[in-house]
Amino acid sequence: MDFMNALKFLISNKPCRFPDKAILSLEAYCIDVTILANLCNMQYINGQNTVTYLSFSIQI
C-alpha cells in the first residue's frame, strides 16, 4: 500500500487493513532521532526532497 492509499484510510476513518505490519516512528515514543542518528554516526538528513525514517524492533 502506498502513502496515498494509506492516507485515504486515515481520512475516511477506516481501520488499518494491515495492523500487524504497522511500524511506529521513533518520534512517537518521544525519541529525538536527530540525536540518536548522530550518536550512531548515521546520516538523518539526506538532502532536499528526501524523507528518512528510523524505527526499531523489540523481539520478545
pLDDT digit string (tens) for 1-58?
A: 566 666 666 666 777 778 888 777 788 888 898 898 899 898 888 888 888 877 777 7
Identify whether the C-beta of residue 7 lies closer than 8 Å to the C-beta of residue 37. Answer: no
Helix or strand or coil: residue 1? coil
So what's the pLDDT on residue 28? 82
- 53 Cβ contact list (under 8 Å, min separation 6): 25
The predicted model scores a pTM of 0.51
User: Longest Cα pair distance anywhere in the chain, in angstroms?
Assistant: 40
* Of 59 and 31, the one with more pLDDT: 31
pLDDT of residue 39: 92
Q: Which of 44, 26, 24 is nearest to 34 (CA)?
A: 44
Q: How confident is the model at residue 60 (pLDDT cuts 50, 70, 90)?
A: confident
